[in-house]
Amino acid sequence: MSQPALQMSDVRKVYSMADNEVVALDHATLTVGSDEIIALVGPSGSGKTTLCSIAGGILSATEGSVVVGGEEIGDYGDKELTTFRQNKVGFVFQSVNLVPFLNARENLLVVDELGRREGKPARDRADRLLDELGLADRAKNLPSQLSGGQKQRVAIGRALMNEPELVLFDEPTSALDTELGQQVMELIRSEMKSRGTAAIVVTHDERITSYCDRTVHITDGVLDAG
Question: Tell me, what CATH number does 84's domain have?
Answer: 3.40.50.300
Residue 123: its pLDDT value, please? Answer: 87
Residue 64: its pLDDT value, please? Answer: 95
Residue 149: its pLDDT value, please? Answer: 85
Average pLDDT of the residues in 114-120: 60
Residue 112: its pLDDT value, please? Answer: 59
212 falls within a domain: yes
Contact between 69 and 23 (Cβ < 8 Å): no
110 falls within a domain: yes
Confidence of residue 44 (pLDDT cuts 50, 70, 90): confident
* 167-226 pLDDT, tens digit each: 999 988 877 788 888 888 998 999 899 999 999 999 887 778 999 999 999 999 999 865
User: 137 lies in which domain range?
Assistant: 36-58+77-224
129 falls within a domain: yes
Residue 207: its pLDDT value, please? Answer: 79
29 falls within a domain: no
151 falls within a domain: yes
8 falls within a domain: no
Residue 226: its pLDDT value, please? Answer: 52
Q: How many domains does the chain have?
A: 1
Is the per-residue pLDDT at 40 higher than 80? yes
Confidence of residue 116 (pLDDT cuts 50, 70, 90): low
